Every structure is written in C-alpha cells, then in structure tokens.
Structure 1
C-alpha cells in the first residue's frame, strides 16, 4: 500500500485537522460568550446594542487572524537562527497564556454568564463604545489564545495556508453550532465538552512547550541540544501518516532531547492535575454530568 504521505495529503489533512479542532473548541467557547451577550441585549429590549457587540466581535476576529499571520509568516524574512529564537520565545509565551486561559475558564465557567450580563448592563448604560469594548475583550482573549495555540504549527506552515484554512473551517463549524444552540436545535453537554477539549489543549500546549525548548536549544539559550532522550527513527517514519498526525497536532519528534521530555512530562503532570482539581467540588469530583445550563444560560 502506498503511504498517504507520498501524495502530500497527510501534511495538508493533519495541519487542517489539528488547527480545525482548535478552531471548533475556541470558536464554540467564544460563541457561547457572544450568545450570552446577544440574548441579554435582546431580552433587555436593547437591540440597538447588537451592532456594537458585533463590531467588537469583528475587531477581535481581526486581531486573531492578524496575530496568526504574524506568527505564521513573520519569521520568513529573518535568518534561520533568528527564526528559531523568535519561535522559541513565542512558544513559551503562548504556553504561559494558554495555560492561564485554560485554567481560568475551568474555574470561571460557573459564573461567566452572570459576569457577562452584569458587564453588558453597565456597558449599555455607558454607551456604544463600552459595549463594543466589552464584546472585544470577552471574545478577544479567546481569539488571542487561539492564535497563540497556532504557534505549534509554525514549523510545518511553510507548505501553504492549510493551518489557517483549517482554523477558519473549525471556527465556521463553531459558528453553526452556536446558532443551533441559540435556537435550541441542539444540546451539548458543555461540562464534558470543555473538560475533554481542555485536556486536549493541555497536551497540545505541552507539545508547543517542547517545540519552544528545542528552538531555544538550537539557538543556544538552553543546554542539552545533543543530549537525546531516545531515538526511534530506525522504525518510526515521520513522513508516514502517523508521523504527520503526531507532528502536525502534538509536535512529536522521534528524537527529542532530554530537556524536551522533562518539560513535556512536567507540564502535562502539573497543569493536568491543576486543571482536574480546579473543577472538583468537596462533594463531587471530575467533570459534572450536567450541561452547565445554569452557568451558560442565556435567559435574562
């Protein structure tokens, strides 16, 4: 059987799949925020505020796309060594911000609906600029997180715009789901959805951390570039479909350095534990079986 990689398809598919899944997860999270804001404005009799909400959303979306394009193409005019330094620093910054946002959402999801409604009520009293600013900040932080998550695709993005296309398609799917949710056509167990996709993002972020560590080792800021933890290149084909999948989504390398492995394991263990523990209550552990209808309610 001819490997899928021979036609170049896996590279395209895996880049689109990984970024698309991120787009769905982050897009749905942003969509829920927009859904709450719009529903509250409508039920408050303030339809005039809708255009300013959408204006803020549009600016936030432009920020996300602009940040992604800078990450993807911004290093094309510098030397390869300088590009490694930029990629390494950007990766570490991305991991820090994404970690904060994932842990924050895990803890704050129970009160986010009430906070958004209170904030929008105050903003509508203050004026259009305040409404637009609230929508921008509420959606923009998700957009920035989305763009920073795409740092992990910087190394493989030189083949074309596929990561960006996958991201946009994922966001489109999230928009459709949000509309259906708003109209009551579908129901999603939000607790489980955000729990398991949150765990997925932690693994993705661990791969970005490992990618950043390797980039800084290449540049010389971190030691141990030649201290290889293990080498499975004798039987692991990185150009095969499974190699493309693991590299495209999780930044897996068949010959990681010891420091990369240490950072990856430590990150998953520490952040994963914090993520699970922040969702626990004294009476119940693990993801709640409910759909979080209270915390994500759009009723006034």
Structure 2
C-alpha cells in the first residue's frame, strides 16, 4: 500500500513541481515588469491547461469501463507506451533546456504582451498543458498497473498538492531548494519507473492479443506439464520466470518492487526484454547528460578561481606629525635668456 502511494506521490511531486516552477517564473516576470494587470489572462491559460489534463484523465478512466477486456488492455498498453515516450523525452529535455528555460519563458511573455489578449492566455496554456498531459498519462498508466488504485491515486493528488505549495514558497523566495540535484535524482528514479511502465505495457498488449505471448495460442508449451513454458524453454513468447510461490502477487513486497523497479512475480520474456533494453539504452544516456551538465559548472568555477586577485592598494603614507622634521628640496632656477 505504502509502495504504490510513495511511487505516485514522488511522480506527482516532481512533475507538479516542474509545472509550478514554470508558472512561478511567468508570474514573477509579469510582476517585475509592472504588468500585474496581465496576470488574470495568464491564470486563465493555466486553468484551461489543468482542465484539459483532468478531462483527458477522466475520459480514459470512464471510457475504459465501456470497452471489452481486450480493448481495455489495448488502450492501457498503448497509452502506457505513449506515457513512457513522453516522460523519457521530458527527462532529456529538462537536462538540455533547464538552464535556459527561464530566459525562454520570459522572451515568450514579452512577445505575448505585444500581442492580443489570447496571446498571453496561450502562453499560460501551452507552458502548463505539456506538463499536465504528460503527468496525466504517466500517472494513469501507473495507477492502472497497481492493485490498490485508490491509494495510488491519493498519493498522486497529494504529491501534486505539495508541489503547488513548494512552488509558491519558491516563487516568493521563502524556500531555497537545490532544484538541479532534485531533478537529477528524481529523473533517475523516473527512468527506472518508466522501464517498469514499459514492461507492464507489453503485458497489456500481450493480453490484448496485439503482441504474441503466453495468453495466445502460439505460446510455447512445456511437454511435461502441458502448460505455457517457463524459463529458457519459454523464449521468446512464454514466461521468463514465476516466483509467485516465493513473492505473493498481492503482498507488500510485490507492490514495493512493482512501484519502484517494475518487477512482477510473474513476467513474460517480452516484458523482461523490454525492461532490460530500455534500461541499457536510457540509463547511460541519462548519466552522460548529468555529467555534461556538470562540466559547464565546473568550467565556470575553474575560470572564477583562475582570475588573479586585484593587487592590494599600497598603504598611504602616514601624515607627518608636528614634531617630525620635514625635508625640504630646493630647486635651482634656470635664468632666462634675452
């Protein structure tokens, strides 16, 4: 229970904090340039973006009840793949654009102020809608994969609420947070979580019959038991392993492993392959991006340390005291010639 709550809470906190920081930058800039009269237009765009995200989540949730089981699994698997793609793209986008995000947003506000009313509404909408839709899809995919969906949803809502409060404190200057370190560590956690969502997406697609697997007629069969083969005999469309006798699928340990690393007590070979390939490709790229962001900061620190200090000013001579004799110099005048 706590595992699913913590996983969705952290994702809601991270994704919500990104959106809160974007809004904080926009509000602070409008205040600094003396255009507080434009804030209602900005908040209108932000409100529309939040409404869009909620509408998308509601549409996916309620429409799924009207579908057949295979259609539900196909919808869940497809949306999970989309969510993983969006989250992965956002992680690397933040690595590259995080340092210039503030100047880019302020430049967009300047252009919007020169335009009409809808220009400022649009910049508020676009700036938040991207985060909102991505967060909705990713959280929806995660919540669907958990057995205790209510607790997972509560964790996401609380995470988003905490993010909004933290963003307000940061914008007001009442809280200082090492955002670079926070987004680095939470980004690494998101990479692992996304791998788990990807594996679960393959599970849904196999259950829907969109991908071959142990649920279809083409699954490899163990001749001794007549059941779907497990282990090496099950490659590539059977079960990779089944440790349900050791880790019960409904146990707290199973929920913790699924919420953090995407592990399930019983997984297909396609799930395992998808998880391994994603981690093998994305993790090195993520680490390279983290190191690449550290080099400019290290170079700036080295450049600042190499700047020679300004020479100390020579002490001014002490004024002569009344008892100290002052030497006088005499000059010889050159006579003028007529």
Question: Out of 185, 195, 198, which is 1:196 matched to?
Answer: 185
Instruction: State the shift of 1:164 in Å.
Output: 3.2
TM-score, L = length of structure 1: 0.85
Helix, strand or coil for the counterpart of 2:240? coil
Distance in 1 between residues matched to 2:45 and 2:178, nearest whole Å: 28
Name the structure 2 match of 1:206: 195
Helix, strand or coil for the counterpart of 1:154? helix
Q: Superposed, which structure 2 residues align to 1:265-280 within 5 Å?
A: 265-280=276-291
Name the structure 2 match of 1:37: 26
- The answer as to 2:163 corresponding to 1:152 is no
- The answer as to 2:171 corresponding to 1:182 is yes
Runs of 5+ in structure 2 lacking a partner? 220-237, 302-338
Between stretches 62-71 and 273-282, larger displacement belongs to 273-282
Instruction: State the shift of 1:235 in Å.
Output: 0.7
TM-score, L = length of structure 2: 0.76
Between 1 and 2, higher relative CO (CA 8 Å, sep ≥ 6) is seen in: 1
Helix, strand or coil for the counterpart of 1:256? strand
Distance in 1 between residues matched to 2:267 and 2:278, nearest whole Å: 16
Runs of 5+ in structure 1 lacking a partner? 1-9, 291-300
> Deviations for 1:192-241, whole angstroms, at most 9, x for unmatched residues?
10011111111111111111111111122212335111221121122222
Q: Any conservation in 2 of the 1:203–1:250 contact (CA below 8 Å)?
A: yes
Name the structure 1 match of 2:114: 125
Between stretches 162-171 and 194-203, larger displacement belongs to 162-171
Name the structure 1 match of 2:326: none
Q: Superposed, which structure 2 residues align to 1:36-115 within 5 Å?
A: 36-115=25-104
Distance in 1 between residues matched to 2:192 and 2:59, nearest whole Å: 24
Helix, strand or coil for the counterpart of 1:280? helix
Distance in 1 between residues matched to 2:261 and 2:204, nearest whole Å: 15
Distance in 2 between residues matched to 1:149 and 1:217, nearest whole Å: 20
The count of residues paired between Structure 1 and Structure 2 equals 277
CA RMSD, 1 decimal: 2.3
* Structure label with greater radius of gyration: 2
